[in-house]
Amino acid sequence: MLTCKELVARSSDLLDEQLGWREKLALRRHLLLCRNCRRYLRQMRLTQATLRLLPESPSPDSERLADHLAELRRDSARR
């Protein structure tokens, strides 16, 4: 049977749907029996969700850049 270490090694591929059905089945079977790995995978999903929500550091000039781009667009439309 698959070990915990092997499950962790393939966990990203599981999350990204990169596994064939046979491998996926082996992982699912391990997860059914292993509380630690279920916890790991649940917390890895939580980590992913946290990264998704982590605010991006705003770049200070972005509004000025946007205004400049809008101006360029209006100029080229006029021509």
Partner 1 sequence: MPADDSELLSRLLAGDQQAFRTLVATYQGAMRAVAIAIVGSAHADEVVQDAWLAAVRNLDGFQGRSSLKTWLLTITANTAKSRLRKVRRDVSLDDLPAPHGSIDENRFAADGHWSPAPLAWHEDSPEALLAEDELRECLEKTLLGLSELQRSVLLLRERQGLELEEICNLLEVSLSNARVLLHRARLKVFATVEHFEETGEC
Binding site for partner 1 (CB under 8 A): 3-6, 8-9, 11-13, 16, 18, 36-37, 39-40, 43-44, 46-59, 62-63, 65-67, 69-74, 76-77
Please calculate the CA angle 2-5-10 and round it to the nearest 5 degrees. Answer: 75
CB of 79 to partner 1, least distance (A): 12
CA distance 23 to 56: 36
| Cα–Cα distance measured from residue 42 to residue 67, given in angstroms and rounded to the nearest whole number | 43
Q: How far is the CB of 10 from partner 1 (least distance, A)?
A: 9
